[in-house]
Every structure is written in C-alpha cells, then in structure tokens.
Chain A
Amino acid sequence: MQSSNGRPGVQSRDAEYEDPWYDALAAGWGESAEQPAPVPAAREAGAAAAGPADVYLQVQRSEAFQEVRSRYRRFVVPGVIAFLVWYVAYVVTATTAPELMARQVTGAVNVAMLAGLGQFLTTFLLTWAYARHARLRRDRAALELRWDTQELSRSRGGAA
C-alpha cells in the first residue's frame, strides 16, 4: 500500500487540508450526546491592511485562536503536573519508604504492586481523557483556524 509518493512538494501544499484518515471529524463512539464545542471565527473585519508576515500575528490575537489555546492549556498543564507528581511520588516512595510499599493488601498483593499497576491504569486513563478532550474540544476549531489562516495568507500574497 501507499506505494506512490504522489506529493510533488511545495506546489501542492494548499491541497492538503483534509486528513485522509479522519475526514469524519469528531465522530467517535459514544459521544452522540455531546456536540463539539463551538468557537468564534478567526476572520474578522478590519484585518485587510496588514502584510503577509502579520497573518500569524493576526490569527494569534483572534478570539478563536485564544480559545483553542486556552482549552489546550487548561487540559494539558494540570494533566502534566498531575501525572509527573504522581510518578515522582511513586519513584521517591519506592526508593525511600520500602516498608510502606511492602505492606500487604490482599494475598501476595502489596501496596507497591497496587501503586505500580495504578501507574499503568492512570496512564491509560489520561491517554483516553486527552484523546477525548482533543477530539471534542479542539479538533474542529483547529481545523477551521487552519483553513482561515491559509486563506488569509493566500489573499495576502501567499506566505503560507
């Protein structure tokens, strides 16, 4: 499969907005009850004066982009802090307080075993939560911003 290169480089960039594997956006399982959260559009009035180099600045200042960025950060920053603290706490406890970790819970299973498996479990859970958050809260808005940005660049003389 995919034996052809079929991408003659720079010229065809503009034709590649769509994702060949995921044309049905945010259409995952079990989420029919929740609609993707809408965000305002990036193209605003009064932007025509700027040059091509300022397209990104203009998009960056737009309400739509600010919303996408803050949604991303509001999820990722607490998430990263949470799992790093949990992991470091686990490693430090395992190396400094082995007695606590050796306490029996049930049968041969002790606190250490549960904590280790808990790390696996939280990793899988956070992965799922991140994917879901990105799909429902960011993907559609990001794709629209991508369109808008490239549209703006082209109308200013093509600094994509």
Chain B
Amino acid sequence: MTGDHQTLALLLFSAFVAITLAITTWVSRHRQGSAEEFYAGGRLFTPMENGFAISGDYMSAASFLGISGLIALVGYDGMLYSVGFLVAWLVVLFLVAELVRNCGRFTLADVVASRMRERPVRIAAGTSSVTVSVLYLVAQMVGAGSLVALLLGGTSEAARAWTVIGVGALMVIYVSLGGMRATTWIQIVKAVLLLGGTVALTVGVLLRFHGDINRLLTTAAERSGHGEAFLAPGLSYGGDWTARFDFISLGLALVLGTAGLPHILSRFYTVPTARAARRSVIWAIGLIGGFYLMTIVLGFGAAAIVGSDTVRTSHASGNTAVPLLALDLGGGAGSTGGTVLFAVVAAVAFATILAVVAGITLASSASVAHDLYATLRRPGGKQRSEVAVARAAAVGIGAVAIALGLLARDLNVAFLVGLAFAVAASANLPVLLYSLFWRRFTTRGAVWAVYGGLVPSVLLVLLSPVVSGSPESLFPGADFQLFPLQNPGLVSIPLGFLAGWLGTVTSDEEPDAARHAETEVRSLTGAGAV
C-alpha cells in the first residue's frame, strides 16, 4: 500500500471526524440536559431517519469487511452470516420493536421493571446490558486497531494502540457531549456513506461481468481454487461435528441476539410512537437486507476479480478483500481511480467503526445511569443528576473499552461479535419475551432468566477452546477447556429460557394481575406511553 492511499484515506477520514464533531457541537449547543434529550434524542426522529440510524448501528465494519472477506475465502459458508444477520430482524419486528416502544422509557430494564419489583430486576437487566455492550465494544475497538494496521500500513504496535485510544476518545466526546441526538445523526451520515460505498463497488463488480451473475459465480469458483465446492456450504463448517454444532450455535445466537442488543433496543425510543418504531424497523430491514445482498456480490466479486489466494496472502481472515477489490475496480495499484476507491473504502470502514462504537457507548451509559445508578443511589436525587452520571459513565466505559481493546487486540473480531450476540440472546431476550407475553411471570423468574443466561454464557466461553487448550486460544499455555464449542448459544440460550421458567414456577410470589394487565394493554395500544 503506497503513501498516496494513506494520505488520501487519512484526509477523507479527517473530513468525516470534522463533520461528526461539527454535528456534535451544533447539537449540544441547544441541549437542555434532560434525560429525554440525552437518552432518546427528544423522541422526535422520523421513521426514515431512525431506520437509517438503526442500519448505521447494525452494519459494523465486521460485516462490511469481515463477511465479504469470509465469502472471498470460503465462499458460500460466509454467506450464512448475511442470512442470519438479516432474518434476526423479523424477531425484532414481530415481537419486540412496537411493544418495547410502548412499554419502556429508555432501556430494556424499563420494560421488565414495570411489572416486577424494580430493584433486583433493574440491577440484573442493567448488568447484563452493560456486559453485552462492553463485549460488543471491545470487538469494535479491536477491529479498529487491526483495520488501521491493515489499511494504513501502520503495522507497528504503537500505531494500533494509538488508533484504539483515538477511537475511544472520539466516541466519548460524541456521546457525552451530544447524547442520543448527535449519535443518531452520526449513524445516519455513516449509514449513507457505507451504503453509497457498497453500492458503488457492487455496480463496479456487476459492470465488470456485464451483469452476468452466472459468469461472476463461475469465475469466483475457478479462481478460488475450490471449484464447484466454493458455491456450496461445507468449506468452513463441513468438518467434524464440533464445527457443525458450532455453526448451528452461532446461527442461533445471530438470529435471537439482535432483539436483545441494548443499543438496538434504545433506538426505538427515539421515535414518537410504536407505529413510527415499526416504520423504522421496516426501513432498517430494507436497508440492511440490501446491504447484505451487496456484501455477497462483493465477496464473490473479490474471489473472482482479486482471487482468493491474493486475498489470503494479504490477510489470513480475509479482512482486506474489499479494499483490494476497490483497488482493482478503480484501475489497479498506482492508478488514480484505484487510489481514490481504496482510500474511500478505508475511510468508510473507519467511519463505520466510530459510529457503531458511539451507539453502543450511549446505550451502555444509559444502562449504568438509568438502571444501575438510579437503583443503587440514595433516594431523592434529581433527574438532572442522572444525565450527569450518564455523561460520566460514557467516559468510564470509554476508558474500560480502550483498556480491554488494547488487552484483547489479538482476539478474532468475528468471534467477539458472535459472543456478544450469544450473551444478548441468552440473558436479555428470554426476560424480555417473558415479561411481554407471559401472564404468570414473576420477579424471581425475571432475575433468574437474566442470570441464568448471563452466567452460563460467560462461563462456557471461559471454558471453551477460545480461552485455553488450543494454539489459537487467549492463553495457549493453559488448558482448562471443558466445553468444545466456541459459541455458547446452543446451550446458554435454552438455559436462559429454562431458568426464567423455573424461577417463575418455584416462586411463592403471586403474579400481579393488575400490573400484567397494564403491561399488556400498554404494549399493544400505546396507552400511557412516553
């Protein structure tokens, strides 16, 4: 990668940072400091704006670079990710978005706590939300570090460390100064940039093959070195049964985890009504679906145009497939077109990471301030101080994420994302669905459902080959591996549901019919919604 790429990419990226900082200052000039404003951006975004923002929150660099790269290397098996990430949105649309908008105010815990004894439920749901957010955050920080090393040639440890610190500092500025309003606009800008870049590259690939998909696929299969097998499942997950179960586990976590991600749930509170929340999700499904369809074209395009071997030589897990494809589509290394396209892709990838990181930080600072702090503090505090706590929490979470991001910089990014989804599906989804739909659900059931999903999922990861027992583990020297799968979802998601059921049937507490009626009526009609 030559100096031209780097200069141009840095220029474009600086422009993005300047624009987003301008948005943040502009927004925070008029800020009123209310909780409504900080957590929910005043609740007056339109469905289209929120739909773009949801897509911006969801389409991470792991999707843009990771999935296309995976498809370029292992063909069809990479495509399974795209499908899982999209189908997950049906769970959100059918069961979660409207009802959560009607029942809650700012966080997941609001929905559960409205029916239960508030204190234990808030602490449990707040803890699991923060855990999920921090895992997801670390994944993005690690991704930022390796991205700068890959794209800007700064392979030195110092360059990676400074990138992680820089990204962390920027996100703290966005979130603590601008709150939800600034974060939302950053997501919208980023979603437009990312979709624009993806459309341009997809059109480039299709033009190269004169719109002949069949020839694109055949060429990809030829140049991958795997032949026909490249276009069918099995290259990556077709090995032993452990690998197959691992994939089924991941597939389950992807499809059920999205509805439990705190930063996705908090987006539904930025629109005025449940119908607007529904409209937002429909926009998001359209945008996200289109995006994942295009990543498939880009993946096979990279295999056909760049060649799987070239991609593999550049980066072992394929993260550079799309930048290399951009270089080739623009006219090859050294040409102006190639340089420009490459720089655009690099800048878009950075923008993506920054925006996703800001969204998650905001959601977790809301959980810390609104759920944990508000429950644990002495009674009688004012609402204004809760926002101050949230701003401080954003700084604290930023610091934690920077530290963990530096420590975990050698972990696989896709694995960390899969893990965050698994924890969200195990700890957040069962309690949310039970509270919304089960009449007999009790406080003990809610607390058990959260911890019964959270503890096993984290524990199983600690005992998995990811942490110890294999050469690629976090601690290759030690061996306390007991659980064979990398992703805990297959076991921990059913455990979360089971624990919630068990806690409910064993508790003496009589379910409160009036509060269940309130939740049910509010969730379906919007009566009393804020």
**Cβ of B414 < 8 Å from any Cβ of A?**
no
A140 to chain B, nearest CB (A): 11
Interface window among B15-23, B271-279, B306-314, B501-509: B271-279
Instruction: Say yes or no: B524 contacts A124, CB within 8 Å.
Output: no
**Cβ of B211 < 8 Å from any Cβ of A?**
no
Top-6 shortest CB links A-B: A102-B232, A98-B234, A149-B527, A108-B217, A60-B517, A91-B251
**Cβ of A131 < 8 Å from any Cβ of B?**
yes
Chain A contacts of B285 at CB under 8 A? 123-124, 127
A83-122: CB near B (< 8 Å → 1, else 0) gives: 1100110111011101001100001111011001001100
Chain A contacts of B238 at CB under 8 A? 95, 98
Chain A contacts of B30 at CB under 8 A? 3-4
Chain B contacts of A149 at CB under 8 A? 521, 525, 527-528
B489-530 contacts to A, CB under 8 A, are: 513-514, 517-518, 520-522, 524-528, 530
Task: Provide a sorted-by-A list of 25 A–B residue pairs whose CB atoms are within 8 angstroms.
Answer: A2-B42, A6-B42, A13-B528, A20-B44, A21-B272, A59-B521, A60-B517, A60-B520, A65-B525, A83-B87, A90-B83, A91-B80, A91-B247, A102-B232, A102-B233, A107-B214, A108-B218, A116-B76, A116-B80, A119-B86, A123-B89, A142-B524, A145-B521, A145-B525, A149-B525
Interface window among B5-13, B31-39, B124-132, B422-430: B31-39
**Cβ of B410 < 8 Å from any Cβ of A?**
no
Instruction: Say yes or no: B36 contacts A19, CB within 8 Å.
Output: no
- The answer for the CA separation of A59 and B218 in the assembled complex, in Å, is 61
- The answer for the CA separation of A145 and B522 in the assembled complex, in Å, is 10
**Cβ of B255 < 8 Å from any Cβ of A?**
yes
The closest CB in chain A to the CB of B45 belongs to A2
**Cβ of B91 < 8 Å from any Cβ of A?**
yes
- The answer for the CA separation of A7 and B201 in the assembled complex, in Å, is 44
B229-245: CB near A (< 8 Å → 1, else 0) gives: 10111100110000010
With most chain A CB atoms within 10 A of its CB, the pick from B90, B95, B522 is B90
Would A120 and B289 be within 8 Å (CB), given that A94-B80, A107-B214 are in contact? yes
The closest CB in chain A to the CB of B281 belongs to A127
Instruction: Say yes or no: A142 contacts B272, CB within 8 Å.
Output: no
Interface of B is mostly: helix
**Cβ of B84 < 8 Å from any Cβ of A?**
yes
**Cβ of B93 < 8 Å from any Cβ of A?**
yes
B268 to chain A, nearest CB (A): 14
The residues of A with any CB-CB pair to B shorter than 8 Å are: 2-7, 9, 13, 16, 19-22, 53-54, 56-57, 59-60, 65, 68-69, 72, 76, 79-80, 83-84, 87-88, 90-92, 94-96, 98, 101-102, 107-110, 112-113, 116, 119-120, 123-124, 126-127, 130-131, 134, 138-139, 142-143, 145-146, 149-150, 153, 160
B390 to chain A, nearest CB (A): 17
Interface of A is mostly: helix
Chain B contacts of A84 at CB under 8 A? 255
Chain B contacts of A6 at CB under 8 A? 42, 44
Q: A68-B524, A120-B86, A127-B286 are in contact. List 16 more A-B contacts (CB 8 A).
A: A4-B30, A7-B43, A56-B518, A59-B521, A80-B95, A83-B87, A83-B90, A84-B255, A91-B247, A98-B234, A102-B229, A108-B214, A116-B76, A123-B289, A127-B93, A149-B527
**Cβ of B293 < 8 Å from any Cβ of A?**
yes
Would A5 and B42 be within 8 Å (CB), given that A94-B80, A112-B233, A130-B93 are in contact? yes
**Cβ of B336 < 8 Å from any Cβ of A?**
no
Chain B contacts of A4 at CB under 8 A? 30, 42
A109 to chain B, nearest CB (A): 7
The closest CB in chain A to the CB of B243 belongs to A95
The closest CB in chain B to the CB of A106 belongs to B214
Chain A contacts of B84 at CB under 8 A? 87, 91
Instruction: Say yes or no: A108 contacts B221, CB within 8 Å.
Output: yes
- The answer for the CA separation of A69 and B229 in the assembled complex, in Å, is 48
Instruction: Say yes or no: A123 contacts B90, CB within 8 Å.
Output: yes
- The answer for the CA separation of A96 and B214 in the assembled complex, in Å, is 26
The closest CB in chain A to the CB of B235 belongs to A98
Instruction: Say yes or no: B272 contacts A91, CB within 8 Å.
Output: no
Instruction: Say yes or no: B248 contacts A91, CB within 8 Å.
Output: yes
- The answer for the CA separation of A145 and B521 in the assembled complex, in Å, is 9
Contact pick for A110, options B231, B244, B251, CB 8 Å: B231
The closest CB in chain A to the CB of B37 belongs to A5
**Cβ of B282 < 8 Å from any Cβ of A?**
yes
Instruction: Say yes or no: A56 contacts B232, CB within 8 Å.
Output: no
Chain B contacts of A119 at CB under 8 A? 83, 86-87
B78-121: CB near A (< 8 Å → 1, else 0) gives: 01101110110111011100100000000000000000000000
Chain B contacts of A19 at CB under 8 A? 272-273, 275-276
Instruction: Say yes or no: A57 contacts B514, CB within 8 Å.
Output: yes
Instruction: Say yes or no: B232 contacts A112, CB within 8 Å.
Output: yes
Contact pick for B278, options A87, A124, A134, A160, CB 8 Å: A134
With most chain A CB atoms within 10 A of its CB, the pick from B87, B217, B231 is B87
Instruction: Say yes or no: B521 contacts A131, CB within 8 Å.
Output: no
